[in-house]
Amino acid sequence: MSEKRATAAEGAAVTAASRSRAQLVAIVVCAAVTVAGIGLWVFQSTSGLVNTNMRNLDSWGIYIILFMLFVGLSAGGLIISSVPKVFGIKGFGGISKVAIWCSICCTVLAVAFVVVDLGGPLRLWELAAYANMTSPLMWDIIVLTSYLVVSVVYLWATIRAEAGRVSQKALRALSAVALVCAVMVHTVTAWIFGLLQAHELWHTALLGPWFVSSALVSGLALVLLMALALRKAGRLALEQADITKMARLLGVFTAVDLYFFGCDLLTSGFPGAEGASIVALLTSGPLAPFFWCEVLAGVFAMLVAFTPRLRTAPLIAAAAALSVLAILCKRVQLLVGGFQTPNIAYPTVTSGPPLTDAGAALASVGPALVYIPSPLELGVAAGVFGLGALLLLLGLRLLPLGQTEGRRQGVSPPPVSAS
């Protein structure tokens, strides 16, 4: 018996060493991607945003699309971790710290996409020196900065609370602050678009609730993916009941998000209203692939969430990944759709050189979109993604994020494939 135990211990040690080496390799790769992205960003900053496919008539692009996505991923993750503590209800096992760390990483990425979109790092100083406090952009910068600070403090307090160094009462109060900040950061981000009357697709009172519901979908989906990955790696002792509960909640959030979207489309297009052209743009125009991808991915996520036989780990992971993709498609629709319909009398008047690379060639492929990212933009975005992955891996390696009471007491994680 002792020999079998020794053999099992040796096998576990070999497996742990192998996982550690794989993690180190992933960290090195992510660091290399980050450095390459920084190099491309330096080139963009020194040579000008003319090397991107953003122009006067479509002044925002993939950087702001991904900014919206990562703010939502961040806010959703923090909401999932803070709500159980605020209302004193049962949470989702030991996923809270992982959700908070994911939230912090996503917030850093959101800030990074704003920085690369500004055109140069020195413009950060101009934001502070010439701040217009009546602008929703400044509101968002203030709320986002506060949100990042609160998230870091919240993670610190959560870790300390496990050691008995922070009271549960204080942690609950901090959870309430984090919850309010999470809702506000996405609401204010929605106001950046919703308060612009010149763009019909953006100017709707539903945009705030719509952004919050999308954040819940994408944030919970990201946390669910992390939970499944860490449980499979043996880093997290999470019951299948917690996975099932998160999957069901994902289905509910998806249904609410699609409901808001449907209400907005109906109000815009019925009966033959001024927004009918916007509805046609989404359902059958150039943005139709993104629209139907969002709808079909949402339907698939709901089927998995509400059908017990389909709630296996692989299908839950697929539903979560498609949910994030659906919200990305929604962000593309929102930003590109706002520029797709011209809001000035002479939309063909442009200034500066023509589009670069793929941007100019898009017109020959069916109905042209007004914007498509250039290879430079995609490279810079990849670098920012590398930074986020690097932070996530370093946190998982250096911080006690995957430790739960069950693991510390020697309880093995449940099988991943259980339904």
What's the domain count of the chain? 1
Residue 354 lies in a domain: no
Cis omega (within 30 of 0) on the bond before 353?
no
Structure-token match 């033959």, residue found: 272
Mean pLDDT of 192-208: 81
Residue 352 lies in a domain: no
Residue 163 lies in a domain: yes
Residue 419 lies in a domain: no
Q: 180: burial class by Cβ within 10 Å (0-12, 13-18, 19+)? A: middle
Residue 360 lies in a domain: no
What's the angle, vertex CA 181, arms to CA 108 and CA 317, rounded to 5? Answer: 60
Residue 410 lies in a domain: no
Q: What are phi and psi of 364, to 5 degrees?
A: -85, -5
Residue 54 lies in a domain: yes
Residue 413 has pLDDT above 60, yes or no: no
Determine the distance from the C-alpha atom of residue 11 to the mean position of all C-alpha atoms in its chain, rounded to a whole number: 37
The CATH number assigned to the domain holding 287 equals: 1.20.1630.10
- Determine which of 200-204, 208-212, 322-326, 360-364 has the lowest per-residue pLDDT on average: 360-364
Domain span at residue 241? 21-341+367-403
Instruction: Note the pTM of the prediction, 2 decimals.
Output: 0.85
The pLDDT confidence band at residue 356, using thresholds 50, 70 and 90, is very low
Helix (H, G, I), strand (E, B) or coil at 71: helix
Mean pLDDT of 135-152: 89
Residue 416 lies in a domain: no
pLDDT in tens, 6-33: 554 554 555 656 777 888 999 999 999 9
pLDDT, residue 346, reads 53
